Chains A and B, each alone.
Chain A
C-alpha cells in the first residue's frame, strides 16, 4: 500500500525543538521530491518546506527559514523536519506530502500522510 506515516509531534515549550519523521512505503521513495505542509487548528494549508528527490535541493517558507531543516534518508525511506526555536504560531498539524503519481508534478500533492500535531505552549 502506498502511504506516508508521520511521527514525532507533541507538546513543546516556546523556544524548544522537535524532530518530525515521515516514513514512506509502497513507492520508489528516492525518485520523489517531498514536502511538509502544515495546518493550524481551524485554519488553511501552509506549505512549509520541500526537498528534491536527491536531497540536494531544499526549500523553505520565509516563516520557518533559519529555524527548520528538512532532510531525507533514502535508506530508511524517510523524510524529516527538524524544528528549532519553536513559536506559538508554529502550532499546527504537520503533514508530509508528495505528488507526481497522479499529476506529473511533485508539487501538486496527491499523497498525504495523516499528520502529526505540534503544539507550542508553555
Chain B
C-alpha cells in the first residue's frame, strides 16, 4: 500500500499570503496524484489531478507540482474561502487508492 504523508498538519496563515502544502509518497507514484479541498460540512472538491492539472473551474491561484514521491500544492494568495482542509490522493498503484492525512489551512 502506498502511504501518503502530508505536511504540515496545520498551516496558520493570513489572507493574501502564499500557502505551500506538501505530500510525500512512500513509493513512486509518477504524476498520478490529486489534491482536494474540503470545508466543514461539505464534500471534498477536486482541485488538481495528475499532479499539476487544474480541474475545471478551479481558480488559477491553485497550482500543483511534483512527480515521483514529492508533491506540492501552492495557493499563491489566500482568499478567505481557501481556509479548509486539503488532501492528496494517489491512483498509481491500487487497490487501495490512498489519501494523505490532510493539511488544515487556518486563519492566523
By the criterion CB–CB under 8 Å, are A103 and B96 in contact?
A: no
The verdict on A105 contacting B91 (CB below 8 Å), with A45-B44, A99-B46, A114-B43 known, is yes
Query: Which residues of chain A are near B44, meaning CB under 8 Å?
Result: 45, 109, 112
Query: Which residues of chain A are near B100, meaning CB under 8 Å?
Result: 44
By the criterion CB–CB under 8 Å, are A35 and B43 in contact?
A: no
Q: How far apart are B76's CB and chain A's nearest CB, in angstroms?
A: 21
By the criterion CB–CB under 8 Å, are A59 and B87 in contact?
A: no
Q: How many A-B residue pairs have CB under 8 A?
A: 70
Query: Which residues of chain A are near B94, meaning CB under 8 Å?
Result: 59, 107
The verdict on A47 contacting B96 (CB below 8 Å), with A103-B50, A108-B49 known, is yes
Q: How many residues of A contact B (CB 8 A)?
A: 24
Query: Which residues of chain A are near B101, meaning CB under 8 Å?
Result: 44
By the criterion CB–CB under 8 Å, are B96 and A105 in contact?
A: no
Which range holds the interface residue count of chain B?
20 to 34
Is there a chain A Cβ closer than 8 Å to B98's Cβ? Answer: yes
Q: How far apart are B96's CB and chain A's nearest CB, in angstroms?
A: 5
By the criterion CB–CB under 8 Å, are B46 and A44 in contact?
A: no
Docked CA distance A95–B95 (Å) = 18
User: Which of A61, A95, A108 is the one whose CB lies under 8 Å from B46?
Assistant: A108
Q: How far apart are B87's CB and chain A's nearest CB, in angstroms?
A: 6
By the criterion CB–CB under 8 Å, are B102 and A44 in contact?
A: yes
Minimum CB distance partner of B38 in chain A: A45
Docked CA distance A61–B38 (Å) = 22
Q: How far apart are B95's CB and chain A's nearest CB, in angstroms?
A: 4
Is there a chain A Cβ closer than 8 Å to B23's Cβ? Answer: no
Is there a chain A Cβ closer than 8 Å to B89's Cβ? Answer: yes
Query: Which residues of chain A are near B36, meaning CB under 8 Å?
Result: 45, 109
Residues of B within 8 A of A (CB): 1, 34, 36, 38, 43-44, 46, 49-50, 53, 55-57, 87, 89, 91, 94-102
Residues of A within 8 A of B (CB): 35, 44-47, 50, 59-62, 95, 99, 102-105, 107-110, 112-115
